[in-house]
């Protein structure tokens, strides 16, 4: 169980919704923000299909706008459903985090690579 990708799959969508909830944004900017926060393995190849899927599920809305650096950009914002999904994710995350924190309260183990 050394594969972070399984944990990532469960949290990435909620993190993307939170970033978008902070203000209308486009795909590359979302990837950049994820990397700034520590999701260093995030790539456009991971994020763009996820954005498309969320848009098809009416969780995101999008609008194309002119870009100062070339072709139009697709800017995303949360739909009403997306705002609800974000709240559900956050509540579930807090509950899950609290449970895991309790289990590991006295662990203190270190990984030596």
Q: Looking at domain 4-103, which CATH architecture does it have? A: Orthogonal Bundle (1.10)
The arithmetic mean of pLDDT across residues 92-96, rounded, is 94
The angle at the Cα of 67, spanning 63 to 68, to the nearest 5 degrees, equals: 160
d(CA 102, CA 109): 15
R_g over Cα of the chain: 16
**pLDDT on residue 112:** 58
3-state SS, residue 31: helix
**pLDDT on residue 78:** 98
Predicted confidence band at 54 (pLDDT cuts at 50, 70, 90)? very high
pLDDT at 56 over 70: yes
- Predicted TM-score (pTM) of this structure: 0.86
Answer with the residue of higher pLDDT: 96 or 4.
96
d(CA 58, CA 30): 18
């Amino acid at each position: 169980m050394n594969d972070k990708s399984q944990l990532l799959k469960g949290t990435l969508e909620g993190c993307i919704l939170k970033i978008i909830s902070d203000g209308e944004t486009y795909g590359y900017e979302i990837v950049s923000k994820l990397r700034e926060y520590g999701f260093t393995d995030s790539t456009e190849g991971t994020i763009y299909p996820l954005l498309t899927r969320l848009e098809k599920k009416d969780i995101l809305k999008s609008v194309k706008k002119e870009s100062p650096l070339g072709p139009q950009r697709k800017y995303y914002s949360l739909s009403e459903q997306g705002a609800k999904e974000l709240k559900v994710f956050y509540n579930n995350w807090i509950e899950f985090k609290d449970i895991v924190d309790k289990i590991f309260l006295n662990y203190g183990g270190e990984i030596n690579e």
